[in-house]
């Protein structure tokens, strides 16, 4: 899941809202809609090859994350013709399929020999299928993403810091295998002085306005045993959403926020996390994988100073991570669907997907990510593989916006504002979500 509303926080500087790649007549151009961020820059470069091969010009409508959902969901709901192709949030699949916004791609995939089994299974479920876990496809996996962690590798390797940590905890300072270990490390670094500067334990998601605190809390709750519903009875949430394991996970998240975050971290999401890490404030940093290439290249904290690790295990050994990323779909209201489908076919090829990865896109094609050389292709590649193997996602229901608004309020009120207990927050969330599904006629 990513992203409802958020700033591009400087990652897509200099990118114009609309970019033309060729002088092909406007009538033959395709317009692809997405968010304004670094991967969009890479897609502009990649798509030049499509124009060379087909003669079809490409235009791009890239909108900052702050306006991304409002802009394009309004466009779809009004049956607008701006977008021929759209890279939409994973959470849009249910509503876009049921409301007829996207072209169903099954027949096209069959005709062109595009096999969804060739793509990472989790991305097919997360970005393409509706209903979930059925062979009904509304997009091609376009950009794989997942919540993981960066850490100050140089601090972890510092002999004096290593010694102090071992004296306190009786073990070596290393990448945490469990959330309990992660909290120990965060507490150890909290308000520690390094190179004459006071540093802090961890940057985590707390943002209230869009989806931030939900993405952070769920990233932890999954590994504590949280389940959205009874596996044997869809939409039955009592005893699952608010199970004792779920309560323990939410209590842990609040404890981590209270003990180990930097000052002013009450409304932190992707941009604030990047800023905290780049400025040398924190030892560890929760964020989506799309931030990793930029952090790796950063002159101040990148290179040998930065490391990456997948979401740790929970108390019972369960290990999951919050899915991000998007699929690419053909808009049902486009008058250029045949040309748009040509782009989908081109984008699905192995050579294009390999170049996509090399330019900074996160490919979902198994031929790319399962290549023997992939894990060594970037310092964060293995962590990306490990993380994508353990993903779960938020509700992809057509009413996901209402479901998300409820979790944002319940989680922020408890974690940040300190209102009530974790059990009360989750009990309230069951009530909120039940009302949404009752209104939808699903309960």
Each residue's pLDDT tens digit in the chain (443 positions)?
554 433 333 333 334 434 444 333 345 799 999 999 989 999 999 999 999 999 999 999 999 887 898 899 999 999 999 999 999 988 899 999 999 999 999 999 999 999 999 999 999 999 999 999 999 999 999 999 999 999 999 999 999 999 999 999 999 999 999 999 999 999 999 999 999 999 999 999 999 988 999 999 999 999 999 999 999 999 999 999 999 999 999 999 999 999 999 999 999 999 999 999 999 999 999 999 999 999 999 999 999 999 999 999 999 999 999 999 999 999 999 999 999 999 999 999 999 999 999 999 999 999 999 999 999 999 999 999 999 999 999 998 989 889 999 999 999 999 999 999 999 999 999 999 999 999 999 99
Do 275 and 422 have their domain in common?
A: yes
Do 157 and 262 belong to one domain?
A: yes
Q: Which residues pair with 61 in a beta bridge?
A: 18, 33
- Residue 65 pLDDT: 82
Are 351 and 412 in a shared domain?
A: no
Number of domains in the chain: 2
**Please, what's the largest Cα pairwise distance for the chain?**
70
Residues 214 and 243 in one domain: yes
Last residue of a domain, one of 392, 409, 427: 392
How many Cα atoms occupy the beta-carbon half-sphere of 59 within 13 Å?
15
The pLDDT, as a whole number, for residue 34 is: 97
Answer for the pair 89, 69: CB distance below 8 angstroms, yes or no. Answer: yes
Do 166 and 213 lie in a common domain? yes
What pLDDT is attached to residue 1?
52
Tell me how far the alpha carbon of residue 322 is from its chain's centroid: 7
Same-domain status, 259 and 376: no
What is the pairing mode between strands 18-20 and 282-288?
unpaired
Using an 8 Å Cβ cutoff, are 9 and 273 in contact?
Answer: no
Tokens 């060729």, residue? 22
What are the distances in angstroms from CA 23 to CA 19, 51, 85?
Answer: 12, 10, 19
In a domain, 215, yes or no: yes
pLDDT for 71: 94
State the Cα–Cα distance between residues 46 and 440, nearest whole angstrom: 41
- Residue from 153, 177, 149, 203 nearest 321 by CA: 149
**Predicted structure pTM score:** 0.91
Is 283 in the same domain as 334? no
* CATH number (domain holding residue 303): 3.40.190.10
Task: Please check whether residues 279 and 178 belong to one and the same domain.
Answer: yes
Does residue 102 share a domain with residue 204? no
Which among 342, 378, 335, 341 has a CA at the least distance from the CA of 358? 378
In terms of domains, do 243 and 99 share one? no
Do 274 and 191 fall into the same domain?
yes
Q: Which structural domain range is residue 254 located in?
A: 147-322+396-440
Alpha helix stretches (DSSP H) within 225-336: 244-260, 270-278, 292-297
Q: Are residues 74 and 200 in the same domain?
A: no
Taking a C-beta distance cutoff of 8 angstroms, is the pair 363, 184 a contact? no
d(CA 430, CA 26): 50
Is 6 within the bounds of a domain? no
């Amino acid at each position: 899941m990513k992203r409802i509303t958020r700033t591009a926080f400087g990652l897509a500087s200099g990118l114009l809202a609309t970019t033309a790649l060729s002088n092909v007549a406007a009538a033959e151009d395709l317009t692809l809609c997405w968010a304004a961020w670094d991967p969009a820059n890479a897609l502009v470069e990649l798509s030049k090859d499509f124009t060379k091969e087909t003669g079809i010009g490409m235009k791009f409508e890239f909108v900052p994350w702050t306006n991304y959902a409002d802009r394009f969901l309004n466009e779809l709901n009004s049956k607008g013709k701006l977008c021929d192709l759209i890279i939409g949030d994973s959470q849009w699949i249910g509503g876009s399929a049921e409301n007829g916004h996207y072209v169903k791609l099954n027949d096209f995939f069959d005709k062109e020999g595009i096999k969804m089994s060739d793509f990472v299974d989790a991305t097919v479920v997360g970005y393409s299928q509706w209903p979930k876990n059925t062979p009904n496809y509304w997009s091609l996996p376009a950009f794989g993403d997942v919540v993981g962690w960066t850490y100050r590798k140089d601090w972890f390797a510092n002999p004096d810091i290593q010694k102090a940590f071992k004296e306190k905890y009786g073990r070596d300072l290393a990448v945490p295998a469990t959330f309990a270990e992660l909290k120990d490390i965060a507490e150890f670094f909290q308000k520690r002085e390094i190179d004459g500067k006071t540093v802090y334990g961890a940057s985590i998601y707390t943002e209230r306005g869009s989806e931030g605190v939900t993405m952070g809390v769920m990233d932890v709750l999954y590994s504590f045993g949280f389940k959205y519903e009874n596996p044997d009875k869809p939409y039955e949430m009592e005893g699952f959403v608010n199970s004792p394991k779920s309560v323990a996970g939410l209590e842990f998240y609040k404890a981590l926020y209270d003990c180990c975050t930097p000052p002013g971290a009450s409304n932190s999401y992707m941009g604030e996390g990047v800023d905290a890490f780049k400025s040398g404030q924190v030892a560890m940093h929760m964020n989506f994988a799309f931030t990793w290439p930029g952090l790796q290249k950063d002159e101040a904290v990148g290179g040998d100073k930065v490391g990456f690790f997948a979401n740790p295990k929970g108390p019972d050994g369960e290990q999951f991570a919050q899915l991000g990323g998007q699929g690419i779909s053909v808009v049902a209201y486009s008058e250029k669907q045949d040309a748009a489908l040509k782009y989908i076919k081109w984008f699905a090829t192995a050579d294009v997907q390999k170049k996509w990865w090399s330019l900074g896109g996160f490919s979902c094609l198994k031929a790319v990510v399962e290549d023997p050389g992939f894990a060594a292709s970037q310092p964060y590649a293995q962590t990306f593989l490990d993380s994508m193997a353990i993903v779960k996602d938020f509700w992809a229901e057509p009413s996901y916006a209402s479901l998300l608004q409820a979790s944002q309020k319940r989680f922020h009120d408890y974690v940040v504002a300190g209102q009530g207990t974790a059990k009360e927050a989750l009990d309230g969330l069951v009530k909120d979500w039940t009302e949404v599904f009752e209104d939808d006629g699903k309960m």
